[in-house]
Structure 1
Amino acid sequence: MPWTTLRLRVETPLFCGDGDPTSAQVRVSSIRGGMHFWLRAMAGVLAGKDLDALRRIENRVLGSTEAVSPIRLRIPAQPRFSTEPFPDFLPRAQSPNNKWISYLLGPGLTAWEPRDQRKGLPGATKITRAFTPPGEEFDLRIKLVGEDRDAHTVALGALWMSLVFGGIGARTRRGFGGIRITGVEGGSLLDWPENALLSPGLDFYENTKSLWPSGTASRAMPALMAIAEKAGLPKRVHDWSAPPTYPVLSKTRTVAGVSGGGTFPDWVNVLIQAGEELRHFRASEFTPQVMYSPKVKTREWLEVVHDEDRDDFALGGLGLPIVFKKDTEVHADRGEGQEAETLRRASPLWLRPVGEGDEWRLFSFAFLTEFLPEEEVGVHLWRGQGGGKRQSRELTVTTEDSHALVREWIEGITEAEGTAFVP
């Protein structure tokens, strides 16, 4: 089968590299990583808690150490990257762009640049890693190998889902690494119409209230069911009466929605408002004595960290760790005392600017999974300086906390005609 080329356009800054902060490359491995995530989510409604069957499905569709993948991917030429610390979307001047987009980027990709008094430049947050800027285009070449048409079909569905709902590189859950499929060259795949793999328009996201294999991905479901049957699974859809232990596409175990009110003129304005809304959503307690703006703190900082009798740390349901100050952090962890291992728990809330031209909205979605699926994993306050931090008292973060928070966010954002959480 010949190679087919997808033309891809970077919609929001893409942070993808091999650890070198001075260069950025879009790697096939990163795209494949996204395909694995979304394939597992697609197959979860069939595999349920049978993780061995889930692995067999994954191996057949995307290959393993013992079997060649039935889909080959190539990137013939890399898009241009930038090392500009203050690009147009994050200017040095104090502005909503700098404050709120850098808030979403987080400390792993940004750092504070002090004021340069000699040049009259204000202090501002800068980007510390190379990135592929919005507007850059590159090709992704696809070749389907072997005779397993079911595997080919499901692999294309996973690729489509990964680019339409996910993205490439770091901070995709906070709106970065967005990719649009703008063209197909070299013939159709699997006799699908050539436009079947193109990214959908804004109306597709506006009509999405939960995550299910819709649009092009719906073409993959009959093939996925055939693969699941060959993997020994019964012919039924798993109802997940309890929250899944991993992200699963489900009409009842996911929630999604777009921002209400009018559209935004571009992705930059989407993320400016998203950053400010998220800050106020997380920290809603007005605290006039602080020296920074906005003058807000989290309820958990005021009422739990500083109260030895409180352990209800609902904020952790949006992801861990949470770093309050250099000497105060909250971690998911395994074990006790000095031997405890700190763990990461990714945020269940995904934010993505969607649209084109001068009409954009914020698309938010979440997988309603168990927050801490392993019984031996707990949540603790950690105190101390640098490497001397030690596990302190136990806190409580529940699955119900996590689900309530993401539902509150999505309901608030979708119903608001203006701002939802900013006073």
Structure 2
Amino acid sequence: MTRPIWHPLPLRTVTPAFLGRFEDISTRSGEITFPIPSLRGVLAYWLRALAGPYVGPDIDELIRVESELFGAASNDTTVPSRILLRGARVQVGELTKPQDGVRYLMGPGLTDRKSPPARCVAPRTILDVRVKNLGGPLHADLFLSALWALRAFGGIGARTRRGFGTLALESLEKLDLEHSPRFHREWLADDRIGDLDAVIECVRATLSDLGFREASFDGSPTYPCFAPQAFESEEHTLDARNILSALEIAGRELKDFRHPKPDGWAPADPRQLPNTVSFREVVKPFKERRPYEAAFIDGALGLPIVYSGKGITTPITVEPVADNGSAGRRASPLWLRVTDIDNRFKLRSLAFYSEWLPDGINLRIKKGKSGHPKTVERPSLDAVRSRVESWFTHLDTAAQTPGSGIHP
């Protein structure tokens, strides 16, 4: 029997990737060990998304799928990982003077100058990653399928859903994992989102061969996955000079989408953003201690949301909260990926229409860290879906607008 060996997995950053912060606020560059756990985590995310159409609502079976590839450890049992990953050191620096649209994509978590600067891996950086398969061809199929989805839709590091941390394969020739004939290497070479159905079918057949149970959803999935009618994806071409200007266009469109301009809106300051519907219908009445009844639709694109500026001296936060009072998070269902294919810059959008918040999770609004918390009405699942779907309408409209920098 041939002993498993380490194979090069030559990944290359397409967009900047943010990997934590420098410990010293005065530090602006250095080297760190590439965080393999982060890469494993995002590969597991995409494996679950691909396995969802086969596994259905059975979360225990979904965990078994993930454990089959990446292992698991608990008090009851330990499952060894079939796929091992190893990384080397990588150069990091600071993303200097990002333009307005890029800063909007980064968000306050990465642009807060009171904190140490974010460690940024520059575009076109080669990540020296290696992979070893301790399983067989079927495990290689699952790993390569997850790698395809990571490349097609995902990213690594902070703000991955907003287009940062996009990865490409530098060379397929060096990636020589023994896989079954049902996984086609050209899927990784071509980088086409049109291959999604074929990759899902590859995963389905592989899970069947590995003996996993097949099921189907009755209603919306409780987790993000590529189940029929539970996701939407589109690709648009960008008029960009380089990857940062492509991110700038994407950030500008996301800002315009989240802050739509009402008819006749004319700000006194050209830098001022129009208020969102939820700000006008929920946040402002709360601030002014007036009654409010509208559902909090801003949360459709992720929670918590912190409102500051615009006359708000103390930040106001809307967040999900459990019955025991502990605050939580809800990641955005929208993935944006800016990529470069043969010097043509593309914006890929992917939305998962899964359960928005579990039963028993409510929304609360508060001033400062804990001041005067009150309950906020949750939007319906249909309202959340409609809000997310409107992103695709927004892009299609922009693609028909001269000078927008976006084309179908």
SS in structure 2 at match of 1:297: coil
Q: Deviations over 1:218-246 (max 9, x none)?
A: 5443212222xx24x24xx62x3411000
Letter in 1 for 2:19: C
Q: Which of the residues 149, 154, 160 maps onto 2:137? A: 149
Give the conservation status (yes or no) of the 8 Å contact 1:330–1:379: yes
- Going from structure 1 to structure 2, the CA distance change for 1:185 and 1:141 (only over 3 Å counts) comes to farther
Alignment-derived partner of residue 360 in structure 1: 345
- Going from structure 1 to structure 2, the CA distance change for 1:187 and 1:292 (only over 3 Å counts) comes to closer
Q: Over aligned residues, Cα RMSD in angstroms?
A: 2.9
Alignment-derived partner of residue 116 in structure 1: none
Give the conservation status (yes or no) of the 8 Å contact 2:259–2:273: no
1:197 CA displacement? 6.9
Alignment-derived partner of residue 176 in structure 1: 164
Give the Cα separation in 2 of the matches to 1:127 and 1:365: 32
Alignment of 1:63-78 (within 5 A): 63-65=71-73, 66-75=78-87, 77-78=88-89
Alignment-derived partner of residue 296 in structure 1: 274
* Runs of 4+ displaced beyond 6 Å: 192-195
Q: Does 1:316 align with 2:319?
A: no
SS in structure 2 at match of 1:296: coil
Q: Which of the residues 311, 314, 330 maps onto 1:345? A: 330
Alignment of 1:15-164 (within 5 A): 15-17=18-20, 20=23, 22=27, 24-65=32-73, 66-75=78-87, 77-83=88-94, 85-86=96-97, 90=98, 98-111=99-112, 128-146=117-135, 148-164=136-152
Q: Structure 1, unaligned stretches of length 5 or more?
A: 91-97, 114-125
Give the conservation status (yes or no) of the 8 Å contact 1:3–1:186: no
- Going from structure 1 to structure 2, the CA distance change for 1:109 and 1:7 (only over 3 Å counts) comes to same
Give the conservation status (yes or no) of the 8 Å contact 1:17–1:26: no
1:420 CA displacement? 10
SS in structure 2 at match of 1:190: coil
SS in structure 1 at match of 2:124: coil
Q: Deviations over 1:80-111 (max 9, x none)?
A: 2113543xxx2xxxxxxx21101110111113
Q: Does 1:3 align with 2:14?
A: no
Q: Which of the residues 243, 255, 259 maps onto 1:279? A: 255
Give the Cα separation in 2 of the matches to 1:187 and 1:418: 41
1:186 CA displacement? 4.8
1:129 CA displacement? 1.1
Give the Cα separation in 2 of the matches to 1:291 and 1:360: 32
- Going from structure 1 to structure 2, the CA distance change for 1:420 and 1:56 (only over 3 Å counts) comes to farther
- Identical aligned pairs, as a percentage? 28
1:52 CA displacement? 1.2
1:419 CA displacement? 5.2
Q: Structure 2, unaligned stretches of length 5 or more?
A: 286-290, 309-313
Give the Cα separation in 2 of the matches to 1:200 and 1:11: 15
Q: Which of the residues 166, 186, 193 maps onto 2:154? A: 166
1:401 CA displacement? 2.0
Alignment-derived partner of residue 264 in structure 1: 240
Q: Deviations over 1:335-387 (max 9, x none)?
A: 3xxx6221111111111112234311211111110101x2110112212x3x3
Q: Does 1:226 align with 2:209?
A: yes
1:167 CA displacement? 1.2
Give the Cα separation in 1 of the matches to 2:125 and 2:116: 18
Give the Cα separation in 2 of the matches to 1:186 and 1:201: 16
SS in structure 2 at match of 1:245: coil
Give the conservation status (yes or no) of the 8 Å contact 1:85–1:127: no
Give the conservation status (yes or no) of the 8 Å contact 2:231–2:352: yes
Give the conservation status (yes or no) of the 8 Å contact 1:412–1:420: no
TM-score between both structures, scaled by the size of structure 1: 0.81
- Going from structure 1 to structure 2, the CA distance change for 1:198 and 1:309 (only over 3 Å counts) comes to closer
Shifted more, 325-334 versus 305-314: the winner is 305-314
